[in-house]
Amino acid sequence: MFTRVLKGNISLTNFIFSKKTTGNILDEIAREYLKQINCDYPHGTGHGVGSFLSVHEGPISISKNSKTVFNEGMLITNEPGYYKTNNYGIRIENILLVVKKKNLLTFEVLTLVPIDTKLIDTKLLNLQDKKWLNNYHNKVFNKIYKFLNENEVKWLKEKTKPI
């Protein structure tokens, strides 16, 4: 399940879309790999990021009912999940910046935290997924290591090694 949630996160992060695309369309992208096995999650996939403790800031969101379009410069969360009742829960969350890509839009990941690879079923990842994860971990390492002591760098290197 972790890998399917991760694939939804990666797919949404890499999605290239027109300026007329609404949040409900983006929501479908993130849920795709769970829906393939008749699973889903009960919350929206993402919300605008505010300031001064306004964590869920409108008007943008990524959810089944969101009809708001996205503009360059907006911040949004990407947080697909899965919850097995009375058992466990999974949520993989990043903060994304809406950026221009030619005449279209896509996302840039702002969160710089390693994604735990212990629960990943690599057989479910395609080459593009693996490449994205390795590139993301490389970015995390290169941006963060200079602020860490020797033991912390060793830990980060292990957590961001290629799969």
User: What is the spatial distance between Cα 101 and Cα 22, in angstroms, rounded to a whole number?
Assistant: 17
Residue 52 has pLDDT above 80, yes or no: no
**Which of 90, 107, 89 shows the shortest CA–CA distance to 98?**
107
Q: Give per-residue pLDDT as tens, 58-111.
A: 788 999 999 999 999 999 999 999 999 999 999 999 999 999 999 999 999 999
Mean pLDDT of the chain: 95
Question: What are the domain boundaries of the chain?
Answer: 1-111, 112-163
Instruction: State which CATH number among 3.30.70.20, 1.20.1260.10, 3.40.50.300, 3.90.230.10 fits the domain covering 1-111.
Output: 3.90.230.10
Alpha helices for 36-163 (secondary structure H): 127-144, 150-159
pLDDT at 53: 64
**Which of 109, 101, 100, 156 shows the shortest CA–CA distance to 135?**
109
pLDDT at 57: 72
User: What is the spatial distance between Cα 101 and Cα 122, in angstroms, rounded to a whole number?
Assistant: 29
Residue 129 has pLDDT above 90, yes or no: yes
User: What is the spatial distance between Cα 38 and Cα 144, in angstroms, rounded to a whole number?
Assistant: 38
Q: Which residue type sits at 13? A: T
- The helix or strand, by DSSP H or E, that contains position 6, with its residue range, turns out to be helix 2-14
